[in-house]
Amino acid sequence: MAKVSFSVDLCKGCGLCVSACPKHLLVIARDKINQKGHSPAEITDQAACIGCAFCATMCPDCVITVEK
Amino acid sequence: MTVFEKPKALTDKPFHYCPGCTHGIIHRLVAEAIDELDIEGRTVGVAPVGCAVMAYDYFACDMVEAAHGRAPAVATGLKRCMPDHIIFTYQGDGDLASIGMAETVHAATRNENITIIFVNNAIYGMTGGQMAPTSLPGQVTQTSPYGRDVATVGLPIKVSELLSSLDAPYYVERVAVNNVKNVRNAKKAIKRAFQNQVEGRGFSLVEVVSSCPTNWGKTPEAALQWIDEKMIPYYPLGVYKDRSKEEEQA
């Protein structure tokens, strides 16, 4: 099973991963705030992830690690 | 099995770039190329003046900071003193295409065996969004509030086309980083530019069409769309110079 993990405190909430995800699994968590003061990206349904790493490819801040 | 993680040639220091700035993607692609070719221990990078001025903090290899626009001249010196090292410069359009144009063109025409990563986002980012030599006709910037007027300030400089008019440079390609497909192509081009140097082939420049959400006044996603709609039609992607093909035909 694919697993996506986020280095939450590096995230700037730009949302490029959200628009890159072909399964529309990522959201910007508006109710959370990280160390930088941004609302970070998070995954809504880990089990539905196909591990394509499109999110990590588009992330400008190397926040995302993808395992399969 | 890890499918994707941060490359080893990047340090742990968080990037200072604005949210959604594609500098981070390009830094990562350069680091991935260094990792894959296993050249980190003998690579020296030259940082520019501009948003990427602090690139020396982000790459794990040795780095030198050059005066504004002079990175290709510094890289020439480094390469000639240490021919067994891999020397790359990382420059923006305000650095390479305006104040550094002379150094760039002359390094290219000498076919210096260096690799240049040229980030073209059509604006001066660090200084607050002034018009750059690469700003599009009609583009609104801090210094062209009514849009770039080509009658007074001329048309943008297309660096890849300009350099490919020279006979000497070995490899010039323009890529973009606005979607997954283009990022993958950009990765191939950047790796090839380093590979050329490892093989001693000569001057390799990769122009990366990039975004500046902050100074374009757009969201990160809208900025990537603007690349598709405005930048790429004006700056077509593709290989502009590839002497390996010319040598095959000869």
- Residue B15: inside a domain, yes or no? no
pLDDT at B156 (0 to 100): 97
Structural domain total, chain B:
1
Closest of B240, B95, B71, B96 to residue B169, by C-alpha: B240
Helix (H) or strand (E) holding B205: strand B204-209
Tokens (6 digits) for A40:
């970070």
Closest of B55, B51, B54 to residue B34, by C-alpha: B55
What pLDDT digit, counting tens, does each position of A41-57 carry? 999 999 999 999 999 99
Contact B55, B47 (CB under 8 A): yes
Residue tagged 């626009």 (tokens)? B69
B22-38 mean pLDDT: 97
What's CA B164's distance to the chain center, in Å? 16
Shortest Cα distance, chain A CAs vs residue B26, angstroms? 8
- HEC string of B208-234 equals EECCCHHHHCCCHHHHHHHHHHHHHHH
Residue B150's domain spans which residues? 23-249
Which residues in chain A touch residue B11, judged by CB atoms under 8 angstroms apart?
none
Contact A1, A27 (CB under 8 A): no
User: In this prediction, does ipTM exceed 0.85?
Assistant: yes
**pLDDT-based confidence at B248, cuts 50/70/90?**
confident
Amino acid at B12: D
Contact B28, B7 (CB under 8 A): yes
The span from the CA of A65 to the CA of A56, in Å, is 7
Instruction: Indicate whether B250 pLDDT > 90.
Output: no
What pLDDT digit, counting tens, does each position of B100-134 carry? 999 999 999 999 999 999 999 999 999 999 999 99
A16 touching chain B per CB within 8 A:
yes
Tell if the CB–CB gap between B2 and A62 is shorter than 8 Å: no
Which residues in chain A touch residue B186, judged by CB atoms under 8 angstroms apart?
none
pLDDT at A1 (0 to 100): 79
Residue tagged 């395992």 (tokens)? A67
The span from the CA of A59 to the CA of B220, in Å, is 11
Query: Which chain B residue has the Cα nearest residue A56?
Result: B4
pLDDT at B1 (0 to 100): 87
What pLDDT digit, counting tens, does each position of B153-170 carry? 999 999 999 999 999 999
A27 touching chain B per CB within 8 A:
no
Residue tagged 């606005």 (tokens)? B178
**Beta-bridge mates of residue B86:** B43
Q: At CA B217, angle to CA A11 and CA B153, rounded to 5? A: 130
Tell if the CB–CB gap between A53 and B24 is shorter than 8 Å: no
**Domain spanning A3-67, CATH architecture:** 2-Layer Sandwich (3.30)
Shortest Cα distance, chain B CAs vs residue A49, angstroms? 13
**pLDDT-based confidence at B21, cuts 50/70/90?**
very high
Mean pLDDT of chain B: 96
The full set of domain ranges for chain A reads 3-67
Tell if the CB–CB gap between A61 and B24 is shorter than 8 Å: yes
Which residues in chain A touch residue B22, judged by CB atoms under 8 angstroms apart?
60
Shortest Cα distance, chain A CAs vs residue B154, angstroms? 33
For testing contact with chain A, the best of B6, B11, B15, B179 (most A CBs within 10 A): B6
Contact B105, B73 (CB under 8 A): no
What pLDDT digit, counting tens, does each position of B191-244 carry? 999 999 999 999 999 999 999 999 999 999 999 999 999 999 999 999 999 998
What pLDDT digit, counting tens, does each position of B70-105 carry? 999 999 999 999 999 999 999 999 999 999 999 999
Query: In chain B, where does DSSP find H-type helix?
Result: 23-37, 55-58, 71-81, 93, 101-109, 150-153, 159-164, 180-198, 213-216, 220-226, 232-234, 243-249
Query: Which chain A residue has the Cα nearest residue B13?
Result: A10
The span from the CA of B78 to the CA of B64, in Å, is 10
- Residue B235: inside a domain, yes or no? yes
pLDDT at B249 (0 to 100): 81
Closest of B7, B1, B8, B181 to residue A51, by C-alpha: B1
| CATH code of the domain in which B180 resides | 3.40.50.970
| pLDDT, mean of each 10-residue run, chain A (68 residues) | 93 96 96 95 95 96 95
**Beta-bridge mates of residue B238:** B174
What pLDDT digit, counting tens, does each position of B161-194 carry? 999 999 999 999 999 999 999 999 999 999 999 9
Query: What does B152-181 look like in DSSP terms, one character per residue?
Result: HH-PPP-HHHHHHTSSS-SEEEEEE-SSHH
